[in-house]
Amino acid sequence: MSSLPFLTKPAFAIAIEHLTRHVDTYSSHLSYEVKTSTFDKEDVYLEITRMVSSTPVENPTTAADEGDGFDVDIEDDEDDPESLLPSLSSMSPTHKVIYTITLSPIYSVPILHFTIAPLPPLPPTPVSLADVYELLVPAPRREELGRLGVQGGISQGEHPYTGRTVWFVHPCRTGEVLREFGEDLKVEGYLGVWIGVFGGVVGLTL
Amino acid sequence: MADAVRRAVWDGSIPFKVMLDPSECRIFDKADPYYFQADRVAYLPFYLPRIYKFFEDFLIDKAVATVENAWFEVDNAPLRWHWPIGLLYDFYTALDPTKTPTLPPTNHDRPGSPPLAADLEPGAAPVPWTITLRFASYPHDFLTTLTPTSTHDAFINSIKEADFSRNGTAKAVMSLSPSDTRELFASLQDHDYNRFWGVTDKLLNHSGITVKNIPIRIYNPETGQVIQGSVPTRQPGTIRGDAQTLGTALNSLVPIIFPSKRSVVLARPVMHGIVLPLSAPLLELMREAMYPDGFLHITLAMM
């Protein structure tokens, strides 16, 4: 039993299933894998890989800076899957980003973790917080995100299942924001909405 | 003595012996160890500047071995910056307090003179705890990058998470004044009990909010697994809403290791260097013995 916007483990697993089905149908360019924690088979999570380019972009198109700052109309995103990101097709990738979407047992909402690895010929040096903003956060959203918390809305920590160092987007207001969707939020479409609201800020779109 | 337990938790400390990694030392086999007493509730970055200063003259190249790329290691395991020191010790020594003698008197803050040696039983945790200071090959996969704000950031994130767990919102934290918010971390850095609890009591007794859940992390030193949970203060499914005990909470979070709610079978729960009784009421355990970041960080001593 889930009382949305909060999710239980079984509801989260269903939400992942619906998202992957949606992706298979509409966004087959997205490279994903459904994983389980090595410690507990019930802990299911989603891993999404994408390549990005650090080449500076003039006037990046972001739907996110319109209106109230949250563009969650995923139908629009389907028409133009790269609408929240600089167009990547013409640039060769410089970094590989691996996102994972796990369920937080404390917040009972998904958390977005990610790692960024430079691709050859770049040296394999770890990226800094400034690099994360530069590489993933659309320019119009940097200031808004940077104002949150002690050092902005992105922190470093350890992955709940792998223990590896990862970046993550603060989940403490996720429930509050998603509650605004009221009856429109269903388990089936949950992760699509969630990615629409919280993914674009670090370059994850459907 | 209403605050006796809080006081004891706050005053808990661990004697450390820091060795400089031989490959970083310009005098073969000659760097003295650095001894210090660390507060269990504190974080290693608080002590790094003075440790670095002590070893500065031994370093081969100060331009390469900077305080920014320093890290500590014990038995090939990098020590996480954002775990409280008491948790690091209990986890990496897989401490079983039933095997550890009382700590000998230590030389508080007087580097150079080692503490008295203790007679340890086999399997007992080491005192002082010997860790190695390294600079090369920073293990980025396992350690977060240490920046001037990273420890504060991780601490406040944990405070917010704990607050959310307790109340279902992070409103208590959000409603603190900016100076109170700063004070949470500053008082911990200064190890000032009164200032820290002055603010934290506002979080635990926020008006109009009753604590609903208790934030717990359980660490298994044998597997490395960390289990997080937000445990209701009252046992779900009980007719009278019986208060949750540590035993009922562990039984619900890790039933394989705690098949019984009343007696330990496979592991003892350890926090702040002592074995916790399964009968301890969870809400009181949190109020009196939580770590400053709001969590009960419990390690398992396998039996």
DSSP characters over A111-138: EEEEEEEEPTTS--PPPPHHHHHHHHS-
User: By CA distance, what is A104's nearest residue in B?
Assistant: B228
Q: How far apart are CA B211 and CA B162, in angstroms?
A: 11
**Mean pLDDT of the region B190-197:** 98
Residue B162 covered by a domain: yes
**Domain CATH for A127:** 3.30.1460.50
pTM: 0.88
Determine which of B149, B159, B220, B293 to mutate to test the interface with A (most A C-beta atoms within 10 Å). Answer: B149
CB contact, 8 Å: A124 with chain B?
no
Contact A165 B165 (CB under 8 A): no
pLDDT at B237: 86
CB contact, 8 Å: A36 with chain B?
no
Report the residue from A39, A156, A172 with minimal CB separation from B150. A156
Q: For residue A107, what are the domain limits?
A: 9-202
B22 plus B75 within the same structural domain: yes
Q: Which of B146, B176, B204 is the last residue of a domain?
A: B146
pLDDT at A80: 47
**Domain CATH for B260:** 3.10.20.90
pLDDT of A77 strictly over 80: no
B83 plus B171 within the same structural domain: no
pLDDT at A76: 44
pLDDT of B111 strictly over 60: no
Contacts of B200 (CB under 8 A, 6+ apart): B184, B292
Contact B153 A165 (CB under 8 A): no
CB-based contact B189:B270 (threshold 8 Å): no
Residue A50 covered by a domain: yes
B113 plus B174 within the same structural domain: no
Residue B1 covered by a domain: no
| Best CA proximity match to B247, nearest among B216, B225, B226, B224 | B216
What residues in A contact B153, CB-CB < 8 Å? 149-151, 155
Contact B145 A164 (CB under 8 A): no
Residue A2 covered by a domain: no
Q: Work out the pLDDT band at A83, boundaries 50, 70, 90.
A: very low
Contact B147 A129 (CB under 8 A): yes
User: By CA distance, what is B160's nearest residue in A?
Assistant: A172
pLDDT at A114: 98
CA B297 to chain centre: 7
Structure-token pair, residue A160:
């709940």
pLDDT at A70: 43
**Mean pLDDT of the region B84-91:** 97
CA B173 to chain centre: 21
pLDDT digits (tens, 9 = 90+) for B139-186: 999 999 999 999 999 999 999 999 999 998 888 888 899 899 999 999
What's the gap in Å between the CA of B88 and the closest CA on chain A?
14
Contact B142 A164 (CB under 8 A): yes
B155 plus B292 within the same structural domain: yes
Residue B3 covered by a domain: no
B35 plus B105 within the same structural domain: yes
B142 plus B197 within the same structural domain: no
pLDDT digits (tens, 9 = 90+) for B204-244: 988 777 899 999 999 999 999 999 999 999 998 888 889 99
Q: Which of B103, B123, B146 is the last residue of a domain?
A: B146
Residue A3 covered by a domain: no
What's the gap in Å between the CA of B224 and the closest CA on chain A?
8
User: By CA distance, what is A154's nearest residue in B?
Assistant: B153
Q: How far apart are CA B295 and CA B158, in angstroms?
A: 8
**Mean pLDDT of the region B254-275:** 96
Q: How far apart are CA B70 and CA B76, in angstroms?
A: 15
pLDDT at A72: 45
As for how many domains chain A has, the answer is 1
Cβ within 8 Å of B, A 51-90: none
pLDDT digits (tens, 9 = 90+) for B15-69: 999 999 988 888 876 789 999 999 999 999 999 999 999 999 999 888 889 999 9
DSSP B104: P
B66 plus B102 within the same structural domain: yes
As for how many domains chain B has, the answer is 2
High-pLDDT (> 90) share of chain B, %: 75
Structure-token pair, residue A129:
């917080």
Residue A91 covered by a domain: yes
Query: Within 10 A of B56 (CB to CB), how many other CB atoms are there?
Result: 11
What residues in B contact A173, CB-CB < 8 Å? 170
CB-based contact A63:A76 (threshold 8 Å): yes
pLDDT of A190 strictly over 60: yes
Contacts of B194 (CB under 8 A, 6+ apart): none
Q: For residue B99, what are the domain limits?
A: 9-146
CA B256 to chain centre: 25
By residue count, chain A amounts to 206
pLDDT digits (tens, 9 = 90+) for A89-121: 457 899 999 999 999 999 999 999 999 999 999
Q: Which of B116, B131, B146 is the last residue of a domain?
A: B146
Q: How far apart are CA B44 and CA B55, in angstroms?
A: 16
Structure-model confidence comparison of residues A67 and A165, the more confident one: A165
Q: How far apart are CA B129 and CA B36, in angstroms?
A: 10
pLDDT of A65 strictly over 50: no
Q: How far apart are CA B258 and CA B25, in angstroms?
A: 47
Contact A155 B169 (CB under 8 A): no
| Best CA proximity match to B19, nearest among B133, B136, B137 | B133
* Weakest-pLDDT range from A57-66, B27-36, B278-287, B292-301: A57-66
